[in-house]
């Protein structure tokens, strides 16, 4: 756990007035607020730092304690004990930003100020509950068929149906499964973003799948039958005589399920790569030479 | 739309400690929709996340309504572009390896 320089974070000097701190905080909050920087983890991290710095420096009591014990923060606990008998903390009534919870404070802050230092998280009475965001990591085959899964969000178990055909990076909203609303207000929503890892030989574009298949020269020239693996099991394919390298064929309905359209599937596109035989015997080479002269 | 999806504007204002006139100006700016049934103004509950975002921008970040209007448009565009980027990333996966 390292010392955090809150003055540096807010870009103010140690002698800065309350109004300078407020001004600097607002300026930085406008720059890094998560609502203004959607899906930007770096902005979110910076915003948390700024908020924490403001929590300390905008509160006279916290600021005094920080200035006094700053780098010697490890002694703050003794300071706290000595102060305990004096007075209770009073709320300054300032406002704070949403999507901000206790866990967003650094260990340094928690160590120095603990619960009593947090003056204003959720200072504004929120009507609608907070929205929750979660990331769910799945394999491609996990989303080939719709299935139910139990997720634990903020210590609550939620059973959801993961629809077949969900895309990598897709976010779905589950209504009313966010934080509870206050005084009769509606609950927030739960947003789940899917991160889908594909370890199969298939490449996916929406509901279509793409596969490269090697075929030997003789089958390509003379034609024949090959077996290929699809997500739906093995399929026998007739290779036409004189098939060229890079030939693409379409297997209708052998692709991935179409999202939210039960029973509908995309197509599987197979591209042939013709393998030229290696380590030919002298007799084979001679036959190829004869062939080339015909 | 069922009545269950409607939130009385006055109720919302009370909880957020904001004036009715503020909600009205948002409506005039075209930022939100107000539904009037028998002389009572309601908000669609689907609009609450957007409305709370507008309140944060205006009341807490001190951005004026003209600025909020521009931000809301740009955020919509950012979301569209992020979706497009995600789609293109997935497409790019076709050519990797």
pLDDT digits (tens, 9 = 90+) for B19-56: 999 999 999 989 999 999 999 999 998 899 899 999 99
**Confidence (pLDDT) at A104:** 66
**Confidence (pLDDT) at B32:** 94
Contact between A169 and B53 using a beta-carbon 8 Å cutoff: no
Does residue B64 or residue B2 have the better pLDDT?
Answer: B64
Instruction: Note the pTM of the prediction, 2 decimals.
Output: 0.72
Contact between A30 and B45 using a beta-carbon 8 Å cutoff: no
Among candidates B17, B56, B86 on the partner chain, residue whose Cβ is nearest the Cβ of A97: B56
What is the Cα–Cα distance from A21 to A86, expressed in whole angstroms? 27
With vertex at residue B35, the alpha carbon angle to CA B31 and CA B37, rounded to the nearest 5 degrees, is: 165
**Confidence (pLDDT) at A90:** 33
What is the Cα–Cα distance from A225 to A234, expressed in whole angstroms? 13
Contact between A128 and B79 using a beta-carbon 8 Å cutoff: no
Residues 6 or more apart in contact with residue A151 via CB below 8 angstroms: A134, A136, A157, A158, A159, A160, A192
Closest CA to A247 of A226, A278, A277: A226
A22 CB within 8 Å of a chain B CB: no
- Give strand pairing partners of B40: B37
pLDDT tens digits for chain A (294 residues)?
Answer: 678 899 999 999 999 999 999 999 999 999 999 889 988 889 999 999 999 999 999 999 889 888 887 666 556 555 555 555 443 333 333 333 334 444 567 777 776 776 555 554 334 446 788 888 889 999 999 999 999 999 888 788 889 999 999 999 999 999 989 888 877 788 889 999 999 999 999 999 999 999 999 999 999 999 999 999 999 999 999 999 999 999 999 999 999 999 999 999 999 999 999 999 999 999 999 999 999 998
Name every chain B residue with its beta carbon within 8 A of the beta carbon of A204.
90, 93-94
CB A259 within 8 A of CB A163: yes
Name every chain B residue with its beta carbon within 8 A of the beta carbon of A182.
15
Give the B window 3-32 contacts with A, CB below 8 Å: 7, 12, 15-17
**Confidence (pLDDT) at A152:** 87
Name every chain A residue with its beta carbon within 8 A of the beta carbon of B48.
127-128, 186
Residue of B nearest to A186 (CA): B45
Among candidates B79, B82, B94 on the partner chain, residue whose Cβ is nearest the Cβ of A203: B94
Contact between A125 and B16 using a beta-carbon 8 Å cutoff: yes
How many interface pairs between A and B have CB atoms less than 8 angstroms apart? 73
Residue that has been written with the tokens 């720059």 in this structure: A31
């Amino acid at each position: 756990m390292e010392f955090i320089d809150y003055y540096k974070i807010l870009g103010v000097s140690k002698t800065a007035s309350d109004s300078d701190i407020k001004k600097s905080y607002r300026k930085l909050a406008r720059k890094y607020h998560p609502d203004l920087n959607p899906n930007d983890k770096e902005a979110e991290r910076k915003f948390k730092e700024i908020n924490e710095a403001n929590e300390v420096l905008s509160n006279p009591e916290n600021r005094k304690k920080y200035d006094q014990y700053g780098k010697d923060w490890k002694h703050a606990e003794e300071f706290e004990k000595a102060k305990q008998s004096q007075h209770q903390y009073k709320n300054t009534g300032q406002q704070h930003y949403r999507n901000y919870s206790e866990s967003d404070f650094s260990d340094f802050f928690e160590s120095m100020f603990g619960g009593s230092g947090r003056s204003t998280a959720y200072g504004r009475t929120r009507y609608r509950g907070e929205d929750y965001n979660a990331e769910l990591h799945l394999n491609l085959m996990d989303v080939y068929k719709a299935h139910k899964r139990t997720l634990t969000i903020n210590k609550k178990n939620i059973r959801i149906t993961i629809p077949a055909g969900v895309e990598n990076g897709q976010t779905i909203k589950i209504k009313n499964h966010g934080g509870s609303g206050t005084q009769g207000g509606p609950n927030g929503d739960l947003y789940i973003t899917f991160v889908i890892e594909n370890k199969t030989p298939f490449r996916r574009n929406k509901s279509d799948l793409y596969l490269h298949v090697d075929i030997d020269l003789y089958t390509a020239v003379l034609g024949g039958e090959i077996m290929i693996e699809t997500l739906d099991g093995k399929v026998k394919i007739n290779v036409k005589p004189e098939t060229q390298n890079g030939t693409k064929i379409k297997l209708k309905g052998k692709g991935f399920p179409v999202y939210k359209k039960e029973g509908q599937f995309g197509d599987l596109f197979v591209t042939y790569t013709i393998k030229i035989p290696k380590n030919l015997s002298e007799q084979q080479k001679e036959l190829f030479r004869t062939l080339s002269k015909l | 739309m069922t009545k269950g999806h409607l939130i009385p504007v006055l109720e919302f204002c009370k909880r957020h400690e904001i004036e009715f006139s503020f909600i009205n100006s948002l409506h005039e700016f075209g930022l939100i929709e107000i539904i009037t049934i028998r002389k009572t103004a309601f908000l669609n509950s689907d609009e609450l996340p957007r409305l709370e975002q507008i309140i944060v921008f205006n009341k807490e970040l001190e951005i004026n309504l003209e600025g909020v209007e521009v931000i809301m448009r740009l955020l919509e565009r950012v979301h569209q572009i992020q979706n497009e980027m995600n789609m293109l990333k997935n497409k790019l996966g076709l050519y990797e390896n």
